[in-house]
Amino acid sequence: MQRWLWLVVVFSLWGCAADPAGFSVKGMAKTDIDLVADIHRRATKEILYELTTKMYRRNPDQLKKTNATIDSRWQQIQALAIERRSTRELGGRRGVEAMRLAFETGYTGDRVFALMVGLTGMLAEAYGYKQEFYWLDSLDQQSLYNSARNIEVMVWLLRSRRDASGEPLILTDTLAGELVNLSFERLFGKLIAHQDALSHVMAGKTQRAVNTVAHGLVSMTFKPL
């Protein structure tokens, strides 16, 4: 892909949220691809924050299981992802294992916390646990691609996994009979688009093909990064 083309793709994803002031003198040590990765990383973090906030507001019963606030939970989620660790509350699980925990019918803890710790940690791993990128840094295109597919699996589980009374384990978009609100779906779509776009960019940089998977129920399992 020509350099100008994938820059257009990235900035179109970023949209009006892009802040030119966000680029500093440190950018002198960055290649174009580093700048692209920075944009994706920042956008992803903003989406994760918005998702965490919306998830708790849609599922207040989950937050009531603890004495935490939405903001304190977000700070904890971020710290766990950056430090590559988990908590006793999650049985030491992180990444895709924490995401699986959120959908276990017997789990009595904060499902939103488990899901967002897992999602945030998985994406941190896909970005090599870096918050900013410089010319010696590199990302694995396959990990980025797999993380996008894992988000698709997560969305499918959010729609399909239900408790004994037939209610979703975690509420997201509105249920039947309510006003249509697809705000969660749009956020999930943005996350997937960012991961896929950057995967293609890195594949072009390394000249290595991405091993794709066919969509369908057979592929609805979380994939290792």
- C-alpha 121/C-alpha 117 separation (Å) is 6
What pTM, to 2 d.p., does this model score? 0.85
- C-alpha 48/C-alpha 50 separation (Å) is 5
Bridge partners, residue 162, by sequence: 168
pLDDT at residue number 178: 59
pLDDT at residue number 118: 98
Domains of the chain, by residue range, sit at 3-219
Structure tokens given for 154: 């997560």
| Ordered alpha helix ranges (H), the chain | 3-14, 32-58, 60-63, 70-83, 96-102, 111-126, 141-160, 183-206
Handedness of CA 162, 165, 166, 170 (dihedral sign): negative
pLDDT at residue number 181: 73
pLDDT at residue number 17: 44
Are 225 and 27 contacting, i.e. CB atoms less than 8 angstroms apart?
no
pLDDT at residue number 60: 97
- C-alpha 174/C-alpha 184 separation (Å) is 9
pLDDT at residue number 173: 85
Can you list the residues of the chain whose pLDDT is less than 70? Answer: 1-28, 175-180, 214-219
What are the pLDDT digits (tens) for 72-105?
999 999 999 999 999 999 999 999 999 999 999 9
pLDDT at residue number 197: 96
Alpha carbon of residue 201 to chain centroid: 18
